[in-house]
A and B are shown apart, each in its own frame.
Chain A
């Protein structure tokens, strides 16, 4: 069965919704804010993500195709199987995303998505250029080995990404109660983008917020979050946005006078970890600000 590239197909819809949100904010005078250079950076990050996908997509696809040769079953492509694959892949997304915040090697790639101090539909497009280097594709291996085809796994992953576009907005306050209970929503995801101590490392969900509730990382939105990074960037340059954390991490890893264990820790411990305790992790920031 052929699966469409839903992300590419959705680009016209993304543009229409983005323009609609800009006009809505302008006309209503509420529902978020756009800043010119911030928007340009987000769009260029989105473009770079597409280019990186074209240039490096063969790595993940080749890996998945190779794995497919070792599958336990071939589950076919019925609607039920696609639906099951979608739910299981969303669970996979939750853990990849959680690792993206808790392991500096993966954070180096994901950080750029959080680097805007704004929260609007353009922020959704501020995507990584370096996902391939995180090797997080291995978390899809169980799905493929169990018998979900690589094409299907990539398709449901694309649907997951498309779903997440619309939740990057302040124009929508809350969805109906039943929806907020089960699904990831603008309210839940605003919390995820907050740099307020109590909001750090929460609400990792892609589509279903139930994973956060199940694994203890759910925090409801109370006051409006302050968006961005613990230390916000002082540049709009997309190259700096894309690579700054990789450079910073490599500088730490190869700093003189460290033990091998400390060098690995700089790559694998949470962002903010340091061998001499001179920086703070999100856990330490949260503990310091706990009521």
Chain B
């Protein structure tokens, strides 16, 4: 079989399965919309960094985590699961309603958090400024 036909079949096969998962409801995202749930998720993700509080945002995509040692963590949705990182040596960029957080971590390089409410975005920015290297 010619290579291009093989590649076409493989690409169609992968795209077909991914589309099937999508239409079967596989693109639903977890919502970080309850403080208790967020703290439980953080505890499961980063048990070495006990949390004392969480700052949520309305879309439920991400949450800032206040940690016992005074540092700050970020928990965010990875599809229907989550990932978490302590924000160390990260950089923040504000771009309209988007906050770009870039972490020096090859496995979690960039998280974009959209916050439409200016007041809440300001709270996030101020909180992040205390722990990040701001770059506007």
Contacts and interface: CB of A to CB of B under 8 A. Distances in A.
Nearest to B11: A47
Given A47-B10, A232-B45, A248-B106, A39 B17 contact: yes
B106 A35 contact: no
Contact of A236 (B13, B21, B48, B78): B78
Contact of A39 (B18, B84, B108): B18
- The range of chain A's interface size is 20 to 34
A23 B24 contact: yes
Interface residues of B, number: 32
Contacts of B21: 22, 34-36, 39
Q: Which secondary structure dominates chain B's binding surface?
A: mixed
B34 interface: no
A271 to B, nearest CB: 13
A234 to B, nearest CB: 3
A122 B17 CA distance: 10
B42 interface: no
Given A35-B26, A36-B27, A234 B20 contact: no
Contacts of B48: 280
A18 B26 CA distance: 14
B104 to A, nearest CB: 11
B107 A19 contact: no
B25 interface: yes
Contacts of B45: 232
B17 to A, nearest CB: 6
Interface in B1-57: 10, 13-14, 17-18, 20-22, 24-27, 44-46, 48
B14 A47 contact: yes
Contacts of A34: 21, 24, 26
B126 interface: no
A39 B27 CA distance: 10
A234 B14 contact: no
Given A35-B81, A226-B44, A232-B78, A240 B17 contact: no
A248 B44 CA distance: 23
Given A232-B45, A232-B83, A234-B83, A36 B22 contact: yes
A210 interface: no
Contacts of B85: 234
A130 to B, nearest CB: 15
A236 to B, nearest CB: 7
Nearest to B83: A234
A247 B104 CA distance: 13
B111 interface: yes
A15 interface: yes
A244 interface: yes
Nearest to A228: B81
A232 B85 CA distance: 9
B78 A234 contact: yes
A161 interface: no
Interface string B97-129: 000000101111101000000000000000000
Contacts of B17: 15, 18-19, 22, 39, 43, 122
B69 interface: no
A231 to B, nearest CB: 8
Nearest to B44: A226
A35 B111 contact: no
A233 interface: yes
B45 to A, nearest CB: 7
Interface string B48-89: 100000000000000000000000000010111111110000
A33 B78 CA distance: 14
9 contacts: A36-B26, A37-B27, A43-B17, A44-B14, A232-B84, A234-B78, A234-B103, A234-B111, A235-B108
